[in-house]
Amino acid sequence: MLTKVNITEKLRLFDDHFNPKIVGEVADCLVKLVKFQGEFVWHSHEMEDEMFLVLRGRFVMQLREGDVCLEEGEFLIVPRGVEHRPVAVEEVSLLLIEPKSTLNTGNVINEKTVSELQSI
């Protein structure tokens, strides 16, 4: 059965930061929504590429070779193995597309690691 997803409604369902929520699946990837503010942890993903699409707000993806500033409607694909850290001065809402195996903190395990994702 096909299911229509309203992103605006889904974003209203949560307020926590750095805790991705599953809103769909495509092939072997999950479609996730996440909100965050502040600095995340430097990390990389050995086996997974990640796509970050800005829905609301803006943020900077810090990379060791230089920062990438992202505005609403823009996206960035971070290739596997590239160390990165998202930073947002004000709250930002993103849509992520990542392989199902992707752990939000990649090669780092800390208090921001979410090992079991919630579907909304």
CA atoms within 13 A on the CB side of 58: 4
Distance of CA 27 to the CA centre of its chain: 18
pTM: 0.90
- The pLDDT tens digits for 48-70 are 999 999 999 999 999 999 999 99
Burial 89-99 (b: 16+ CB within 10 A, else e): eeebbbbbbbe
Distance of CA 3 to the CA centre of its chain: 22
User: Any idea where the domains of the chain sit in the sequence?
Assistant: 22-103
CATH 2.60.120.10 correct for 22-103: yes
The reported pLDDT for the residue numbered 27 is 92
Q: DSSP 3-state assignment of 12?
A: helix
